[in-house]
Each structure stands twice: as structure tokens, then as C-alpha cells.
Amino acid sequence: MSEKSTEALIIESLITLLSMFPTLLQMFQNRGALTEEDIRYYRERIRVIQETSLRSFDKYLEEARELYGDG
């Protein structure tokens, strides 16, 4: 991933954070309004995010070793 897109991601994350609390509150207040299908969809998205992007640092080190050797 390029440097520019990393910066964009950081800025986007920080900006979006500003709306995080009111949005969470809105989500809590509407939590009974979703269909079963919606709930399954969102829960699946959370699970996929956790499995694909939140691996332990050791896994990343292993991958880097495989890719680049020992430097």
C-alpha cells in the first residue's frame, strides 16, 4: 500500500472518530429496528474484520521472514 493511501486512511479514521459516539448512541437506540438478516450481515462483517485484519504481531513477523528472509 502506498504512503499516500496510508496517510489518507489515518486522516479518515481520525475524522470519522469525531462522529463515533453520536453514531454509537444512534446504533444503540435503533438496535431493535434491524431485521434478522441485517443483524447476521453486520455480525458476519465484524467476524471477518477480526479474522482478517487483527492477527497477532508474531504472524506478521513470520510472514515478513518468509517474504524477505532474515534481511
Partner 1 sequence: MRKFSVFLFVLCLVGCASFGGRQAYDTTISVYARAALLYDMAARTAARACILHNVPEEKCDEWGRVLEEARRTLLDYGNFLDAMLALEPTPECLERTKICTTEECRQRNLQICYEQQMVRYSRAIERTIGALKKIIEEARG
30 near partner 1, rule: CB under 8 A: yes
**Is residue 56 at the binding interface for partner 1, with CB under 8 A as the rule?**
yes
54 part of the interface to partner 1, by CB under 8 A: yes
Could you tell me which residues come within 8 angstroms of residue 34 by beta carbon, excluding any fewer than 6 positions away?
42
* 25/16 Cα distance (integer angstroms): 15
70 touches partner 1 (CB under 8 A): yes
Phi and psi at residue 13, to the nearest 5°: -60, -45
| Contacting residues toward partner 1, per CB under 8 A | 1, 3, 6, 9-10, 12-34, 38-39, 42-43, 45-47, 49-50, 52-58, 60-61, 63-65, 68-71
